[in-house]
Structures are given as structure tokens and as C-alpha cells.
């Protein structure tokens, strides 16, 4: 008997976006169906049930027609979004995966996905003491980003002065904790009092400030770093980058990880203080976590014990159901998320 088609609810892009993303830029549809068994023609392919989807900032650039900077293909209006997520394998025609495996990697914003390049999936050796959702954040792509960006790109040394922007977010909160772990002095910026408190009380940042309350970012940085900044972990871009450049120390390093403040702008703001790079001999280095995937096993080995013994922790912001997917994404750009913004599909029947 042929396998029955089941509903496959999806979150689709309604139209190309400019400026801030709005909930109405996306819509949920239950029109799509899928067979929950792969046919013999599906060689090398994996069928998954999606459990958690990551509302990652990089989805916004993919929502516009031509992003001047991006090297990835934009989303297509009328098609579902895709991005990082955690999923359970329902059927597999790929030798590395079996029914029942848990995986993380790029999947669709939908109940079920057919993944045709499973080489880019990571198998989760499920540790029942660690929430599965962590593989969208601290144990997944953002975690590896913080780890490789901080340890590999920044080359940090004990006692150095570290500044992290968007510090309460998925990547930022981890960078700050890594920096404390090796004995750096760490200050973070974030967009609300609650986040600032969290940074200091939960994540052990030495100081933190609300950038929205500082009309003079240069003055704020001089207050927190009278001696200057050795390492800046860049997550926001724009005015903050310009202010940081003026406050770097000689031989400082800037890991350019993200520029979320610019993703919603028609034209990026101009950075006026790049001459600081010369006078202070600064290394400013962009990176992409995909180049560091080979480090993933080493990263897990380092991080899992620290999560278990409570030395490193994380905060997640979990919203449930594809109907709330668009709202979850919008939160990342208005800063309403505290910690990794996750969309859970666990209760989608």
C-alpha cells in the first residue's frame, strides 16, 4: 500500500523585505503535503521531523532580493525559509544516518524536511542531561561561532581587555564566558536593563552597559575601558564599530562576526575611523563559522563538561509553533529576545 500524504505546515516568505522585517513579510501555510517515507529514487537523502528552529540574524539578509554583501542565495517569495535547526530522522537513504537519529544543521521552516545534502548535518549523540534545543545555540552553530571566533580569530591572552556587543545574545553570552574562563576582563553591551543585569549576574561579565542609553558611545567605552580594548568581538557594526576603533589598544584584534545593526538598513553606515587600524596596528578579521566545522568535535569535548559542571551556562528564549515563527524572527531585530531565539515545533501535532 502506498504511503499516505500528510500535511506539512510551513513558514513562507511572502515578498522580498527591505528595512526591518515584519510578521506580515512571512505567512504560514498548510497547503503542502509530504510522504513520511522516502522512495527508492531518493538516494543520499534524509527525511526529518523538525523539532527546533533557530531564529538566526543571518536570515534577514536572505529575505531581500539582492543583498550587496551576501554570497548566499536569497530566499524565494512563496517558498519556506530555511536555516539551522534540530531534527529527528524519520527515514534515510544516506549511509551515515538512520531512522531515530537526532541531527542539527540546515533544514526548512516546516514540520518535515527532505535534506538533500546531509553531509552538512551533524549527528547529535544525545546526552539526555542536555536539552536538545541547545543544538540550535550553545552546542550548535552559534556556539561554534563563539568558540572559533574567540579562540581562533582573536588569539586572546590572559589579562586582556575584551569588549563584546550584542552580548546577551546567543554568540555574545558565550564569548563573554569564554573570555572570563581564561582570565580576561570583559565588558558587554546590550539593549535593555534586564540584559545588562543578566550579563553581570549570570554570565560573570565584569561590567555591562545598555548601549541605547548612551548617546556618546565613545565616552561610554572610555568609561569602561580607560586603558583601551585589546579584543573586540563585533556582532553589531555601524556606530559601535566606529566608537570601538577609537578605543582599541596597540596590536588589538577585532573579530568581525556580524553586523546586525546594518542588516535592516538600505545602505550600510560609513565607518570613519578605519585609519585607527594603521596607527594602532589592529587586525580586523572577518570569519565564517563554516570554515571551522572541523573543530566541532574538539569544541564539544571542551564545552560539554563545562555545561555539565555549571561553569558555562546559556539562556534560551523559546517560542512555540510555526504560527509564531515570524514573530520569533522579528524579535531578534527589535531585541526582544533574551538569549538564543528558538522556535520549538515539539508541540506541533
Ligand X SMILES: NC(=O)c1ccc[n+]([C@@H]2O[C@H](COP(=O)([O-])OP(=O)(O)OC[C@H]3O[C@@H](n4cnc5c(N)ncnc54)[C@H](OP(=O)(O)O)[C@@H]3O)[C@@H](O)[C@H]2O)c1
Alpha-carbon Rg for the chain, nearest whole angstrom, is 21
Residue 130 DSSP label: S
Residue pair 274/296 in contact by the 8 Å Cβ criterion? no
Residue 166 contact, options a second copy, ligand X, none, Cβ 5-8 Å cut-off depending on partner type: ligand X
Q: 319: which 3 cell numbers?
A: 517560542
Length of the chain: 349
Per CB under 6 A, residues contacting ligand X are: 56-58, 142, 145, 166, 168-172, 190-192, 195, 235-236, 257-261, 278, 287-289, 332-333, 335, 337, 340-341
Minimum distance from residue 158 beta carbon to a second copy (Å): 22
Q: Which is nearer to ligand X, 38 or 221 (CB)?
A: 221
Sketch the per residue contact string, 63 through 92, with a second copy: x for CB under 8 A, - otherwise: -----xxxx---------------------
Q: Which is nearer to ligand X, 94 or 172 (CB)?
A: 172
Residue pair 217/243 in contact by the 8 Å Cβ criterion? yes
Residue pair 55/322 in contact by the 8 Å Cβ criterion? no
Minimum distance from residue 227 beta carbon to ligand X (Å): 24
- Counting Cα atoms < 13 Å in the Cβ hemisphere of 206 gives 17
Minimum distance from residue 288 beta carbon to ligand X (Å): 4
Which of 12, 257, 307, 342 is close enough to bind a second copy by CB under 8 A? 257
Residue 172 contact, options a second copy, ligand X, none, Cβ 5-8 Å cut-off depending on partner type: ligand X
**Residues from 276 through 295 that contact a second copy (CB under 8 A):** 276-288, 291
Helix (H) or strand (E) holding 234: strand 229-234
What does the alpha-carbon distance between residue 98 and residue 34 come to, in Å, rounded to a whole number? 19
CA distances from 72 to 59, 75, 312, 336 (A): 11, 9, 33, 27
**Residues from 225 through 244 that contact a second copy (CB under 8 A):** 237, 241
**Which residues, at least 6 apart from 274, have a Cβ–Cβ distance to it below 8 Å?**
245
Q: Which is nearer to ligand X, 184 or 241 (CB)?
A: 241
219 contributes a contact to a second copy by CB under 8 A: no
Q: Where along the sequence are the contacts to a second copy (CB under 8 A)?
A: 68-71, 237, 241, 246, 250, 256-259, 262, 267-288, 291
Amino acid at each position: 500500500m502506498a504511503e499516505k500524504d500528510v500535511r506539512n505546515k510551513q513558514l513562507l516568505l511572502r515578498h522580498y523585505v527591505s528595512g526591518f522585517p515584519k510578521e506580515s513579510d512571512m505567512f504560514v501555510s498548510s497547503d503542502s503535503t509530504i510522504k513520511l517515507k522516502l522512495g527508492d529514487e531518493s538516494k543520499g537523502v534524509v527525511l526529518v521531523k523538525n523539532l527546533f528552529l533557530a531564529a538566526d540574524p543571518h536570515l534577514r539578509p536572505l529575505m531581500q532580493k539582492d543583498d550587496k554583501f551576501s554570497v548566499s542565495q536569497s530566499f524565494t517569495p512563496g517558498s519556506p525559509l530555511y536555516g539551522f535547526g534540530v531534527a529527528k530522522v524519520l527515514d534515510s537513504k544516506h549511509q551515515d544516518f538512520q531512522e531515530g537519529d537526532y541531527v542539527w544543521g540546515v533544514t526548512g521552516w516546516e514540520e518535515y524536511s527532505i535534506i538533500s545534502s546531509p553531509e552538512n548535518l551533524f549527528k547529535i549523540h544525545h546526552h539526555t542531561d542536555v536539552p536538545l534545543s541547545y543544538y540550535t545555540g550553545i552546542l550548535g552553530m552559534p556556539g561554534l561561532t563563539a568558540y572559533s571566533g574567540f579562540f581562533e580569530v582573536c588569539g586572546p591572552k590572559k589579562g586582556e581587555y575584551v569588549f563584546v556587543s550584542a552580548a546577551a545574545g546567543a554568540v555574545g553570552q558565550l564569548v563573554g564566558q569564554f573570555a572570563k574562563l581564561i582570565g580576561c576582563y570583559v565588558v558587554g553591551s546590550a539593549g535593555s536593563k534586564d540584559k545588562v543585569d543578566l550579563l553581570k549576574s549570570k554570565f560573570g561579565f565584569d561590567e555591562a552597559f545598555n548601549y541605547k542609553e548612551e548617546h556618546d558611545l565613545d565616552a561610554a567605552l572610555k568609561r569602561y575601558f580607560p586603558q583601551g580594548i585589546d579584543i573586540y568581538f563585533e556582532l553589531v557594526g555601524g556606530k559601535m564599530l566606529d566608537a570601538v576603533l577609537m578605543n582599541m589598544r596597540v596590536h588589538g584584534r577585532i573579530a568581525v562576526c556580524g553586523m546586525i545593526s546594518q542588516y535592516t538598513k538600505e545602505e550600510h553606515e560609513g565607518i570613519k575611523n578605519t585609519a585607527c587600524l594603521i596607527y594602532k596596528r589592529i587586525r580586523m578579521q572577518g570569519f565564517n563559522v563554516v570554515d571551522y566545522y572541523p573543530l566541532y568535535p574538539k569544541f564539544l569535548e571542551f564545552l560539554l563538561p563545562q555545561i555539565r559542571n555549571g561553569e558555562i551556562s546559556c539562556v534560551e528564549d523559546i517560542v512555540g509553533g510555526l504560527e509564531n515563527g515570524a514573530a520569533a524572527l522579528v524579535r531578534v531585530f527589535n531585541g526582544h529576545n533574551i538569549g538564543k531565539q528558538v522556535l520549538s515545533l515539539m508541540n506541533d501535532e
